[in-house]
Structure 1
Amino acid sequence: MKSHFEVSEKLFELYHRVHKLINESMTEEGVSLARSKFLFFLSKLGPCRSTDIADALSFAPRTVTEAIDGLERDKLVERKPDPADRRAKIVSITQTGRQVLEAAETPRKQVLEEIFSALDDQQLDQLQSIVNSLVRKADDIRLRREDEKKH
Structure 2
Amino acid sequence: MKVCDEELFKELASVFLMAHRQMDRAMTAQGASLARTKLLLYIQRCGGNARAADIAELFGQAPRTVTDALDALERDGLIQRATDAGDRRVKRIAITDEGERAIAATEPLRRDLVRDFCRLLTDEDRRVLHDCLQKMAIAINPPSPPGDGI
TM-score by length of 2: 0.75
Tell me how many residue pairs correspond in the alignment.
Answer: 144
Is 1:29–1:103's contact at 8 Å kept on the other side of the alignment?
no
Aligned to 1:139: 138
Aligned to 1:53: 55
Q: Return closer, same or farther for 1:125/1:88 CA change in 2, 3 Å cut-off.
A: same
Aligned to 1:27: 28
Is 1:29–1:100's contact at 8 Å kept on the other side of the alignment?
no
Alpha-carbon offset, residue 39 of structure 1: 0.8
Say if 2:119 is the partner of 1:117: yes
- Code of the residue aligned with 1:35 in structure 2: it is R
Deviations 1:33-86 (A, max 9, x none): 222222112212122332343355554433321221121122211223334333
Identity, % of aligned positions? 34
- Code of the residue aligned with 1:78 in structure 2: it is Q
Structure with the largest fraction of strand: 1
Deviations 1:70-106 (A, max 9, x none): 2112221122333433333232111111111111111
CA RMSD in angstroms comes to: 2.8
Q: Return closer, same or farther for 1:32/1:55 CA change in 2, 3 Å cut-off.
A: same
Is 1:27–1:104's contact at 8 Å kept on the other side of the alignment?
no
Q: Return closer, same or farther for 1:82/1:127 CA change in 2, 3 Å cut-off.
A: closer
Note the residue ranges of structure 2 that are not aligned, 5 or more in a row: 146-150
Report the Cα distance in structure 2 between the residues aligned to 1:29 and 1:95, rounded to whole angstroms: 21
Aligned to 1:85: 87
TM-score by length of 1: 0.75
- Code of the residue aligned with 2:24 in structure 1: it is N
Secondary structure at 1:143 match in 2: coil
Note the residue ranges of structure 1 that are not aligned, 5 or more in a row: none
